[in-house]
Structure 1
């Protein structure tokens, strides 16, 4: 099993990164929370990974924090929750927020995450209640606000944020409205800030 990847961050986007390890480039699917903690492209990045082998594909999922990978592995053991949905859940909210929902039996908030229906949300609460009763990530999943971006990049940041939300599973109309609201809240925010605020507003 591939447990960790360390190398040069060649490319990153909210749902996927490419890391070059001594000439071999690994394509790794990541959560938005992990994306926000990555260094800039060209720098060294380290991700804790989970390797999935299927008949039709070999997939590598990466996490900036070990705690997030641990929660991912707990999630995919729930009936009906595969790796893709597990990653979508961890993109929709951070580990602490998810555990809070489960501990408080808040399935109504969980159904707001793309791909999580009412039955899945109720199953998550039911099956994980005991397992996550004392969960503490101990990780700082908050995202530091970036420096103020010139107005010239506002349109680009808005477009990139909307595309990222669509990639995370939200409908284009939802993404557009959420990003517009985020811009009103943070007019000078960069792409990552807009995505973070958009996700917060939709949950």
Structure 2
């Protein structure tokens, strides 16, 4: 089991980073690859070593909390590594844990790749297994309590169609400001395709936000 890797990030892609560890490059799939883009120093990436019959993958995280939540999510029927990564790209561990503990299906279904049935399974399978994620529950609960207001009264630029509005509302619920999202949209709008999905727009917007 590879618990973490420490080295210099030498390459970024939309889904992974490559970490040079003593002249060996490890490809590590991570929720937000561009969160590592601002440092030329060595970084520590906490990993989950995932082995299948046909492949071996490393999934990486900036904190132990993300690593632990990722492993908890894999316990849910129907959630694989890719969906678990998408969840952590869309929400912080304490916010996801708070939503599960509060059975907040509305919040969970705003996360990438999560429908109502999967959200219900998350609550059923994990509600009593998240005591370790108590840190930040109070502030997370405040944010979740106002979600309906955020979703019913979005502010700012109304351009971009329904997909962007849904992506924007979900990102606002995760703590991003209108100004930050307007800047992200400004960078994205010329390349948005008519059939682009909410999940795709959220992922691309997050890349822009982490680039700063």
- Asked if these proteins are the same fold (TM beyond 0.5), I'd say yes
Consecutive unaligned residues of structure 1, counting only runs of 5 or more, are: 146-153, 183-189, 196-203
Q: Answer 1 or 2: which has greater helix percent.
A: 2
Q: CA 1:77 to 1:49, structure 2 compared with 1: closer, same or farther past 3 Å?
A: same
Moved more, 7-16 or 42-51: 7-16
Correspondence 1:158 to 2:156? no
Deviations 1:119-159 (A, max 9, x none): 10000011111112562357xxx99x9xxxxxxxx799814
**Conserved 8 A contact 2:74-2:80:** yes
Deviations 1:90-144 (A, max 9, x none): 1111111101111110112211222111110000011111112562357xxx99x
Matched position secondary structure for 2:25: strand
Measured on the aligned residues, the alpha-carbon RMSD in Å equals 3.9
Matched position secondary structure for 2:199: coil
Query: What is the distance in 2 between the residues matched to 1:129 and 1:171?
Result: 28
* Match of residue 170 from structure 1: 199
* Match of residue 85 from structure 1: 83
* TM-score computed with the length of structure 2 as normaliser: 0.65
Say how many residue pairs are matched. 168
* Match of residue 154 from structure 2: none
Runs of 4+ in 1 over 3 A off after TM superposition: 154-157
Within 5 A, what are the aligned runs for 1:65-80? Answer: 65-80=63-78
Consecutive unaligned residues of structure 2, counting only runs of 5 or more, are: 137-173, 178-182
**Conserved 8 A contact 1:158-1:194:** no
Q: CA 1:16 to 1:157, structure 2 compared with 1: closer, same or farther past 3 Å?
A: farther
* Match of residue 5 from structure 1: 5
* TM-score computed with the length of structure 1 as normaliser: 0.68
**Conserved 8 A contact 1:111-1:121:** yes
Moved more, 106-115 or 88-97: 106-115
**Conserved 8 A contact 1:85-1:115:** yes
Correspondence 1:64 to 2:62? yes
